[in-house]
Amino acid sequence: MPAEVRHVVELKLPHLFDWRSYQAEFWNAMRAGCLRAALVWHRRAGKDLTVLNWTIHQAVLGRPGTYFYFFPTYNQGRKILWDGMDARGIPFLARIPRELIGGKNETEMQITLRRPDGQHSIFQIIGTDKMDSIVGTNPIGCVYSEYSLQNPRAWNLTRPILAENGGWAAFVYTPRGKNWGWDLWKVATSDPSWFTSLKTVDDTRRDAAGESGERVVPPDAVEAERRAGMPEELIQQEFYCSFEGALVGAYYADQIKQMREQGRIRPLSVDPIYPVETAWDLGVDDETAIVFTQQRGDWLYWVDFYANSGAGLEHYAAVLREKRYYYGAHYGPHDIKVRDFSTGNTRLQHAQALGINFRIVPKLRVEDRIQALRRLLPRSIICSEKCARLVDALSTYRREFDEETQTFRNQPVHDWASHPADAAGYRAIAYHEQTVGEGQRWADTRYRVWAGPAEQDEADGSAWSPLRGLDRATFGSPFDR
């Protein structure tokens, strides 16, 4: 005879959560079989709480497998979801009934979930600043929280996996200008297979069971933010989901906008006449970023970009060889001279052994490096294809925002955009070091053409013909090249 069942625990999913009407729209669409969703909702609309409950439901009652929850950074994922609480003081992870937790890894922010069928699923929070952790995995459900601030590489890496295994993806964010979040929104709204939802503070109400039915964020709360000094552009983004403004606090927003308007972010080819110079931001436990540039006259062409993590200098030396460029200088940060205790050599010495002879960029304050790049971008042209990730990073690199004081701190956010932006900043410092007084040299220089026989000594000026009236304009506009 079967053993007598003495105790039955009844669990309800979602747990400790009642859907509001606008949240139920997402739930119903996903239950009906939708595999792609874009939720552009205002601040405090409950974006993460909504998709978290859907993810838990699917991990327990849907397909067994791995479910990833992406944040822009590892620390943000821990602060917001792993350790965070909602407005009522309930921990977000309390939505997982403790009876369903089969194991918990604090370091990896990973939870093993028991299922009624005896199988299990994995739920894990991941920062897109540490993408190596997902290589070789096979998720069947992914959430991209604050997608407009994430490393877009996360979606590019997981997209083919989800396409192959029939998995689902949900993107939840508020706009941050017309970046990849805007691009995704355009794709989503033009594809009927996607569920899309854009909700401003005028569209959401507390209409779940037991709630009052009032607006989630009433008008007087928005006005209070204005009086506290919150920038109007940020209010439009956060509460009214406007894509029109640039990312508030972005260091290079104006320069990138101007470059787009002037057609200076466009397809480019490497010109074999000019050497390719590189600038590096060398990571130790995180990403290394390399920018590839060519100086043509007084214009700097950004022709290529490469970044990777978890690899040694041998890997990057091989990348340089594979690109087969005619190289000029390689610029490295000052800390390249730090000695590696495991080998006794500096990374500078290691690079020299691999054939990379770095020039050390002077150590300056972060704000000086940022200002150097701001000065350089107006005389720059960037390849829209090979440098797409660099452009995304420069568009996103921004100051930290203090929620308590509603002001920006005088320091950048450290996330996936930091390394490409730092590499570009080092190139800017090197450029300005090279071209001090360049304008005066142009004005003072007279150009001549060699017209003598090959064996004649060039020191004999008789074979030189002067070029009259030659100035920078003679070389043509970079837009014609």
Which pLDDT band, with edges at 50, 70 and 90, does 410 fall under?
A: confident
Question: Which of 310-337 are b and which e, b meaning 16 or more Cβ less than 10 Å from the residue's Cβ?
Answer: eeebeebbeebeeeebebeebbbbeebe
**Mean pLDDT across 201-205:** 97
Give yes or no for a contact between 129 and 415, defined as CB atoms under 8 angstroms apart: yes
Please give the structure tokens belonging to residue 108.
């990896």
Estimate the share of the chain in helix, then strand, then coil, as percent rounded to the nearest 5. 35, 25, 40
Residue 87's CB is within 10 A of a number of other CB atoms, namely 9
C-beta separation of 78 from 130 below 8 A: no
Q: What is the mean pLDDT of the chain?
A: 87
Quote the pLDDT of residue 469: 37
Q: Measured between alpha carbons, how far is residue 294 from residues 257, 289, 304, 358 in Å?
A: 22, 17, 10, 17
207 exposure class (CB count in 10 Å sphere: 0-12, 13-18, 19+): middle
Cβ atoms within 10 Å of 414's Cβ, excluding its own: 14
Q: Closest Cα partner for 91 from 103, 78, 99, 82?
A: 82
Q: Is the predicted pLDDT of residue 3 greater than 80, yes or no?
A: no
pLDDT, tens only, 66-78: 999 999 989 999 9
Q: Which of 85-99, 155-169, 307-321, 406-420 has the lowest mean pLDDT?
A: 406-420
Residue among 374, 421, 371, 414 at smallest CA distance from 394: 421
279/437: higher pLDDT: 279
Among the ranges given (145-159, 168-182, 255-269, 436-450), the one the predictor scored with the smallest mean pLDDT: 436-450
pLDDT of residue 408: 77
Higher per-residue confidence, 163 vs 88: 163
Mean pLDDT value of segment 90-113: 96
- pLDDT tens digits for range 142-176: 999 999 999 888 999 999 999 999 999 999 999 99
Q: Give dist(CA 57, CA 14) in Å, integer.
A: 7
The predicted pLDDT at position 298 comes to 87
Q: Averaged over 291-306, what is the pLDDT? A: 96
Longest dimension (CA), the chain: 114
**What does the pLDDT read at residue 7?**
60
Residue 265 in this model has a pLDDT that exceeds 90: yes
Contact between 349 and 405 under an 8 Å Cβ cutoff? The reply is: no
pLDDT over 90 for what percent of the chain? 69
pTM for this prediction: 0.76
Does pLDDT of 347 surpass 60? yes
Average pLDDT over residues 44-51: 96
